[in-house]
Amino acid sequence: MPAQTITSSKPKVLIITTGGTIASVNGKPMIDGPALVQAVPTLKEYAEIEVMVFSKIGSSQMTPGHWLRLGKSINEYLQKDKDLAGIVITHGTDTMEETAFFLNLTIQSQKPVVLVGSMRSSNEISADGPANLLNAVRVVIDQQATGQGVLVVLNEHIGAARNIFKTHNRNVHTFHSPELGYLGFVDPDAIKFYQKVIHPHTHQSEFDLSDMDQLPVVEIVQDFTGFDESILKYFLNKGIDGLIIQTFAGGRMSAGMRKGLIKATEKQLPIVVTSSVANGRIIGQLPAEVPAIFASDLRGNKARILLMLALTQTRGLGEIKEIFERY
């Protein structure tokens, strides 16, 4: 009797582990990838799981270099292994929204990619990691998740990478997109999607990582009452590629920020102005002399990511503005 190759009828899911509280004991990310998966035996009922250990760091230690390497790895895996149903990435919650948004703009595939984390370490009472990991796998193998861009799944809520952000320092229900809501929910009996993503993402995006060795350097300056323009001089003179100004609602800014930006004109530095206020598009009047555009409804950390990627395509403010209107 020839040996039978037992092919699993279950979908194949790659779990890429990066660290974070979900892989932590007493707050230290030390559980290695395979152990994290072995701790949730129920996973095997849903999918054939492969594990790739990418890093073992808290997500506050993530850098644009990590994003670039992770995005390239994911594109390679999805390109090479056509049997993959999708990818789950375990990640810290501190910068999860950033990694998710970067991947949302750079993964060249319609297959589901889900980021998952936890707010409690594995040793804490009612640790949320195992259930979140199981739910992430359940979402990634569900047909409804295809073509919805990169997703964030925690506490049975499914969020879109572009809109979701961390809102609570401790609570297990920390990821919200207050005005734009969730795409769907992980119910005990089924995955239920109620919304679709409308902004272009993943396979619809023009940002191609394949020839990128490093990302443009974009930094963020927070405006505040009594801001001193000399702070801006530091950023304008350090040779960065772009700058995000996070200021008050409506693009209103402190006198020091305004003075500093007006002097910035000779630097020809692409500047994007966003608001510290959590919700809604920023609209208003920028000083005519200031070479800047508004960031739509993106907050500072995500506006930075979009500007980094926009600068791989153009340095023209008009083209950058068009990119911000589209993504």
Which positions are annotated as active-site residues? 21
Residue 283 and residue 294 in contact, taking contact as beta carbons nearer than 8 Å? yes
Identity of residue 80: K
Q: Distances in Å between the alpha carbon of 127 and those of 7, 23, 132, 155, 279?
A: 34, 11, 10, 11, 30
> What is the distance, to the nearest Å, from the Cα of residue 11 to the centroid of all Cα atoms in its chain?
25
User: From CA 201, how far away is CA 292, in angstroms rounded?
Assistant: 24
End-to-end Cα distance, the chain: 57
Query: CB-wise, 169 or 268, nearer to ligand ASP?
Result: 169
- Closest alpha carbon to 118 in 110, 129, 108: 129
Where do contacts with ligand ASP occur on this chain (CB under 6 A)? 20-21, 58-60, 92-94, 117, 119
Burial of 227 (0-12, 13-18, 19+ CB in 10 A): buried
Residue 298 and residue 271 in contact, taking contact as beta carbons nearer than 8 Å? no
- Three-state DSSP string of 160-210: ECCCCEECCCCCCCCEECCCCCCCEEECCCCEEECCCCCCCCHHHCCCCCC
Query: CB-wise, 106 or 118, nearer to ligand ASP?
Result: 118
User: From CA 306, how far away is CA 64, in angstroms rounded?
Assistant: 12
**Partners of 166 in beta bridges:** 175
Centre a 10 Å sphere on the Cβ of residue 254 and count the other Cβ atoms it contains.
Answer: 17
User: From CA 320, how far away is CA 52, in angstroms rounded?
Assistant: 35
